Amino acid sequence: MNKSEAVRIISKCANIYKKRLDGYQIVFVYRDENNHSNYMEVKFRSYNFLHFTGVIPRNGLSANDFYRFALNNRLSERDFIFKNKQRWTRGYKRYKETSGLIEWKERQIFHSIFT
């Protein structure tokens, strides 16, 4: 995985994040270790995107600037370093393996709701 490929992926993911998560609040309902129902609310903000990327911004870029650069295809290889390149590569492989599945599942959910 080289940085130019990472820039492309981060920019693509920024657009997906904006479309599907930015500004949304999701409630996760689960059972804890004592089998009690519980929930957690998660709010997705523009400044949270950087956390998901696995990179560290350079040049004093704020999390919001980084996100805006990625959205506007202005992010460059000089704007970040990998936190852990091996972990980033492993995350990217997982992203490639699951992205098609997530899109398929999303279509199935919307299809069953709206038809």
95-108 residue pLDDT tens: 665 555 555 555 55
pTM of the complete model: 0.71
Given a cut of 90, is residue 11 above it in pLDDT? yes
Structure tokens at 33: 């270790």
Given a cut of 50, is residue 111 above it in pLDDT? no
* Average pLDDT score over the chain: 81
Q: DSSP string of 54-90?
A: TEEE-TT--HHHHHHHHHTT---GGGEEES-HHHHHH
Structure tokens at 28: 């996760």
112 vs 76: which has the higher pLDDT: 76
27 vs 97: which has the higher pLDDT: 27
